[in-house]
Amino acid sequence: MTGSRFARQMALPAIGREGQRRLGESSALIVGCGALGSHTAEALARAGIGRLILVDRDLVAETNLHRVALFTPPDLGRPKAEAAAEALHRLAPDVAIASHVAHLGPKLAEEVVPQVDVVLDGLDNLETRYLINDACVKHRVPWVYTAVLATHGMTMPIVPEQGPCLRCLFPDLPPPGTIPTCAEAGILGPVPAALAAWQATTAIQILVGSADLAPGRLVHLDLWAGRAETISVARAAGCPCCGERRFGFLP
Ligand SMILES: [Zn+2]
């Protein structure tokens, strides 16, 4: 790590030399390497995180190019996790990056979640988020829930035993087809970039051990309407996951 690369970041009292050292010794798992995941990965790689694990089973498609930070037309048809890892290596060669071209199922979640200090959300489906929530609460790893659709998105830090989990917020998985996807409702290019910036900032707070981190603070941003709202989510009494420690999405 060279001092000059991170000088502007270390000048922040909330980070400083000690925060930068902690970042360099930290690791993050990024599940999904679309717009949300790739912008988040880029922010953390540039911030000087030590190690990233990327998971995505999809290939780069032409419909991704209007919003995904790391991909260019020559990447079309390549696995997203591999193309993202290469691009990240070019911009931050000191970061150790592992990529898995795979769907995050229960077995892989049990393998990779305990290896990291924070898990970040680059997903487009709730079912895998419930799996991440189970694995993170079980292994006491913080994660950041983040979702985008159309012109808006929301994000919330989930810190096991310090605040609510995803199932305190959404107790049950909604029936398939009841939540619209970005393919159906569309997605404005800058929206995932904005939510990824928020998510990456939360991850940095978690990794440097900031007292400003607010577990359970849900932020909803609508970029088109120019509106931001903050809601405090409480732990739900009798939550099957963080209350009763029943992990139904794991094997
Ligand atoms: Zn809970």
**Phi, psi of 13, deg, nearest 5:** -60, -30
Average pLDDT taken over every residue of the chain: 96
What kind and span of H or E run contains 132?
A: helix 126-139
Q: Does domain 7-232 have CATH number 3.40.50.720?
A: yes
Cβ–Cβ under 8 Å, residues 21 and 50: no
Which tokens hold the place of 60? Answer: 């780069």
pLDDT at 131: 98
In degrees, rounded to 5, the angle at the alpha carbon of residue 143 between the alpha carbons of residues 167 and 128 is: 60
> Where would I find the beta strands (DSSP E) of the chain?
27-31, 51-55, 96-100, 118-121, 143-149, 152-158, 217-222, 227-232
C-alpha 192/C-alpha 146 separation (Å) is: 9
Q: How many CB atoms neighbour CB 209 within 10 A?
A: 10
Cβ–Cβ under 8 Å, residues 120 and 206: no
- State which amino acid sits at residue 150: A
C-alpha 93/C-alpha 108 separation (Å) is: 26
Using CB atoms within 10 Å of the CB of residue 40, give its burial: 0 to 12 exposed, 13 to 18 middle, 19+ buried. buried
At what angle are helices 190-208 and 16-24 packed, to 10 degrees?
A: 100
C-alpha 250/C-alpha 247 separation (Å) is: 6
List, for residues 142-195, the tens digit of each pLDDT value: 999 999 999 999 999 999 999 999 999 999 988 888 888 888 889 999 999 999
Domain ranges for the chain: 7-232
DSSP state letters, 187-210:
B-THHHHHHHHHHHHHHHHHHHT-
Q: Give 128 Cα–ligand 1 centroid separation in angstroms.
A: 16
Which tokens hold the place of 181? Answer: 């996807």
Q: Give 111 Cα–ligand 1 centroid separation in angstroms.
A: 22
C-alpha 75/C-alpha 73 separation (Å) is: 5
Q: Give 76 Cα–ligand 1 centroid separation in angstroms.
A: 39
So which residues are the catalytic ones? 182
Q: Give 156 Cα–ligand 1 centroid separation in angstroms.
A: 13
**Residues within 5 Å of ion ligand 1 by Cβ?**
165, 167-168, 239, 241-242
Q: Give 133 Cα–ligand 1 centroid separation in angstroms.
A: 9
Spans of the chain, pLDDT less than 70: 1-3
pLDDT at 3: 60
Q: Give 161 Cα–ligand 1 centroid separation in angstroms.
A: 9
List, for residues 65-81, the tens digit of each pLDDT value: 988 889 999 999 999 99
Q: Give 215 Cα–ligand 1 centroid separation in angstroms.
A: 12
| Coil/strand/helix, residue 123 | coil
pLDDT at 121: 98
Q: Give 48 Cα–ligand 1 centroid separation in angstroms.
A: 31
